[in-house]
């Protein structure tokens, strides 16, 4: 017999401003729900009937916007989209208190984590962080779902993140480590993940931070990378291309992983920079599985917060 949808909803989860807003129990429940949503989407087709969400996008988006709009509509709800600065014409706290009078939830993809935190502080409806400079929790949820599908159990896996110690690295450390994954992050000197976030993650699981990409990739079940230059850092692109050159995920580095290891990327990818085309197109690449699972993981998140 299928588990009732309501049993997944945690009364303790109000917003997803950062990965740690989902406690370990809620995280496990959400992964179970994401698997059910993926297997039997019709069962959830009216879960958000009559619900409307505001999608706020300061940054351009393909996967995040498409998957959230589709997720909301496939769950029976609808969305309105606003692009441009959040709080540019009026205080963020006023934006939050307008939107919570009109909608049942706010999804925001922004430049600054402070914007997410202020929305959550003032909104009476759930706020979902769809990316900030500090965290990318929705991506991490899809990533652990992808690993679970590939390997069965998460406990005991090793995930190597190679490149910039950015928002994706932060969320992977905070989310995957709590599920028993050893997360090894390799960056050039000066580009390590935030020390406070690394320490938070290390209190819940096994974290390695190194400047040696081969050390991180050794015997890894997954080798993960992201663009070297994130949106808003375009003026650093030429410098970063030189600094990160030895951190490219190519055939040589990928061979350090386990024979059954997979390649992961949150996309979009700059082929020829952080990853070669050969690795991207390898049979062991699961990048499009990750992209697909953004839809399913976010459906589970919406059901958890709004169902």
- For position 307, what pLDDT does the model report? 82
**Pick the catalytic residue: 226, 248, 290, 296?**
226
Q: For the structural domain made of 139-290, what CATH number should be given?
A: 3.40.50.1370
**225 near 274, Cβ under 8 Å?**
yes
Give yes or no: 266 in active site.
yes
Q: How far is Cα 297 from Cα 306, in angstroms, rounded to an integer?
A: 14
Mean pLDDT of 235-259: 96
Concatenated DSSP letters of 101-163: HH-SEEEEE-S-HHHHHHHHHH-SS-EEEEE-SS--HHHHHHHHHHHHHHHS--TT-EEEEES
Q: For the structural domain made of 5-136+293-306, what CATH number should be given?
A: 3.40.50.1370
| Strands, sheet with 182-186, edge to edge from the N-terminal-most edge strand | 207-210, 182-186, 158-162, 222-225, 262-265
Q: Could you read off the pLDDT of 257-292 as tens digits, one per residue?
A: 999 999 999 999 999 999 999 999 999 999 999 999
- For position 5, what pLDDT does the model report? 46
Mean pLDDT of 195-212: 98
Tokens for 284, please give them: 């062991």
**Pick the catalytic residue: 109, 182, 240, 265?**
109
Residue with tokens 């307008």: 98
- Mean pLDDT (the chain) is 95
Pairing of strands 105-109, 127-131: parallel
Helix (H) or strand (E) holding 80: strand 78-83
Q: Centre a 10 Å sphere on the Cβ of residue 15 and count the other Cβ atoms it contains.
A: 20
Q: Could you read off the pLDDT of 48-89 as tens digits, one per residue?
A: 999 999 999 999 999 999 999 999 999 999 999 999 999 989
**Pick the catalytic residue: 36, 139, 248, 298?**
139
**Pick the catalytic residue: 117, 266, 290, 298?**
266
274: helix, coil or strand?
coil
Could you give the residue range(s) of every CATH 3.40.50.1370 domain in the chain? 5-136+293-306, 139-290
Give yes or no: 294 in active site.
yes
pTM: 0.95
**Pick the catalytic residue: 65, 134, 178, 294?**
294
- For position 232, what pLDDT does the model report? 74
Give yes or no: 109 in active site.
yes
In the predicted structure, residue 8 carries a pLDDT above the cut 50? no
């Amino acid at each position: 017999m299928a588990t009732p949808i309501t049993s997944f909803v945690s009364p303790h989860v109000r917003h997803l401003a950062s990965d740690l807003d989902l406690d370990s129990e809620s995280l496990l429940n959400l992964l179970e729900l994401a698997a059910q949503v993926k297997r039997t989407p019709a069962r959830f087709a009216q879960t958000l009937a009559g619900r409307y969400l505001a999608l706020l996008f300061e940054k351009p988006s393909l996967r995040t916007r498409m998957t959230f709009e589709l997720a909301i509509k496939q769950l029976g709800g609808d969305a309105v989209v606003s692009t441009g600065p959040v709080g540019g014409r009026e205080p963020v706290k006023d934006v939050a208190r307008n939107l919570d009078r009109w909608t049942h939830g706010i999804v925001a993809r922004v430049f600054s984590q402070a914007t997410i935190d202020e929305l959550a502080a003032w909104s009476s409806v759930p706020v979902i962080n769809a990316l900030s400079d500090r965290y990318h929790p929705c991506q991490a949820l899809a990533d652990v779902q992808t690993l679970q599908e590939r390997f069965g159990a998460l406990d005991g896996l090793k995930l190597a993140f190679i490149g910039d110690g950015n928002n994706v690295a932060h969320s992977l450390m905070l989310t995957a480590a709590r599920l028993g994954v050893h997360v090894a992050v390799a960056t050039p000197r000066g580009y390590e993940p935030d020390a406070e976030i690394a320490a938070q993650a290390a209190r819940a699981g096994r974290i390695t931070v190194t400047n040696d990409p081969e050390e991180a990739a050794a015997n890894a079940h997954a080798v993960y990378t992201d663009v070297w230059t994130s949106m808003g850092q375009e003026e650093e692109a030429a410098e970063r291309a030189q600094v990160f050159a030895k951190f490219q995920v190519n055939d040589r580095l990928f061979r350090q992983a386990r024979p059954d290891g997979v390649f992961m990327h949150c996309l979009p990818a700059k082929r020829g920079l952080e990853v070669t085309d050969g690795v991207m197109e390898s049979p062991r690449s699961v990048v499009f599985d990750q992209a697909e699972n953004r839809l399913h993981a976010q459906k589970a998140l919406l059901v958890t917060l709004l169902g």
